[in-house]
Amino acid sequence: MRMFKRFLATALCSAVVVSGFSHVQKVDAGPPSHSNAKVENVIFMIPDGYSTSYATNYRIYKGEDTVLDSMLVGMMKTNSADNWVTDSAAAGTAMATGVKTNNGMISVTPDGEELNTILEAASDAGKATGLVATSTITHATPAVFGSHVESRGSEADIALQLIDDVDVLLGGGKANFLPRSKGGNQAERNLLEEAEASGYHFVETRDELVALDGKEEKVLGLFADGGMAPELDRNETEEPSLAEMTKVAIDTLSNEKKGFFLMVEGSQIDWAGHAHDAAWAMKDTEAFEEAVEEALEFAKKDRKTLVVVAGDHDTGGMTVGGYDEYRSNVEMLRDVTATGSYMASQLHEDRSNVTEVLRTYANIELTASEVERIQTAPSNRVHFVINTIISERAYVGWSTTAHSGVDVPLYAYGPSADLFNGLLDNTDLPKRMAEAMKIDFVQ
């Protein structure tokens, strides 16, 4: 078994050593703990869409081992109840409830019966609870921890269930909390007013968030009407980073003497994979790693906090190398400063400035053939063609615009981290978190 673990860690986490490359330095979060001490807090972090190929490409992009590398403990199966290839709703439901459901369903059985979630079980045990995401906070992954609906598209209904049941909510999706009379998606109710009346401190900009003193019992932060901006484009907004939201959530929730449960999602790694936007994927992975560092900093000082990290599925079928070449050039993505969608938005109506836009935001000189590909693309595919060209330059391949069914890496740090060793099913995670916290968790 020891040899197998060493082989698995080497296969997934070894740095790429190539003649002429600079020496790769190891960033070590410290070995996962095998302590049986009671876990007071769990920070469950989900890089949506993240698989081993994302992990390897990000290591190359970063130029050294990642924070997650030293936390690797196993792998996780991802299939849903009705498909070998899961969506985020079914995957999240399994990771929140310990029960598989059909794609598209939020913490209910295939027959529509509500399932208890690990967040709800933690709340019942007297712990504070929180959800953080860069999507709408009512999107599939955060939704599964605090709501129960048969369709992931029912985000207005999800918002109704999250308010009052979760102490800290940080992300996008402000429209789902407002009535239609104010441009929102609620029939009549203004959930922002209701939230403030029931004790939530409401913030909607980065400056308002970081100004909090950590003494608030309940915080609602909604920083965009829909999803938040990609990390590449965030400087164009007043939105906080994922790391900043994570820190505020931890500071707030750690006031509860009985401990807390916090879920943090790096939502847009998945969105980048769907769009085949390799630079966006790497930049949002970097933002997620910075959030993990915030969690680890707290866990190392606290010594009663378990940090668990796992993607819910793979998105896009990303490869390391591609296009019939035995090579990788992921490092060039460091020079890309905008998403493909943003670059497409900067093109003139006749797309005559293609060369200038790609030179400015991707630091590449297009060939005549590449210019023609962008200029002749259908209007709704321009961003995708830009992303494809950049991926070709980086030798990052893609096999699908949807999800794939591969197993994903599993990471853990802190007391009881050894509960997550080996090959697990996604349904195992909440059960083992409950075991670590020594709380009741039954369906």
Please indicate if the annotation marks 274 as binding a ligand. yes
350 annotated as ligand-binding: no
Q: 26 is written with which tokens?
A: 């190891």
Cβ neighbours of residue 56 closer than 8 Å, sequence gap 6 or more: 12, 16, 320
Residue 340's H or E segment, with its range, is: helix 340-345
Q: How far apart are CA 191 and CA 194, in angstroms?
A: 5
Residue 313 known to bind ligand: yes
Tokens of 55: 């992990």
Among positive and negative, which fits the CA dihedral 162, 167, 172, 174? positive
Q: Which of 51, 53, 80, 88 is catalytic?
A: 88
User: Within 10 Å of residue 18's Cβ, how many Cβ atoms?
Assistant: 10
Contact, 90 vs 100, CB < 8 A? yes
Q: Is 202 buried (19+), middle (13-18) or exposed (0-12) by CB count in 10 A?
A: middle
Q: Is 199 left (phi over 0), alpha (psi -120 to 50) or beta?
A: left
Tell me how far apart the alpha carbons of residues 406 and 109 are, in angstroms, rounded to a whole number: 23
Torsions phi, psi for 113 (to 5 deg): -85, 135
Q: How many CA atoms lie within 13 A of 170 on its CB side?
A: 32
Q: What angle do CA 76, 82, 83 make, to 5 degrees?
A: 55
Give the CA diameter of the chain: 64
312 marked among binding-site residues: yes
399-80-136-127 Cα dihedral, nearest 10 degrees: -140
Question: 157: annotated binding-site residue?
Answer: no
Residue 265 annotated as lining a ligand binding site: yes
Confirm whether 88 is a catalytic residue.
yes
d(CA 270, CA 413): 24
Distance CA 176, CA 166 (A): 16
| Cβ–Cβ < 8 Å for 309, 417 | no
> Is 141 annotated among the ligand-binding residues?
yes
- Binding-site positions for Mg(2+) read 48, 139, 141, 265
- Binding-site positions read 48, 139, 141, 265, 270, 274, 312-313, 403
- Binding-site positions for Zn(2+) read 48, 270, 274, 312-313, 403
Residues acting as catalytic residues: 88
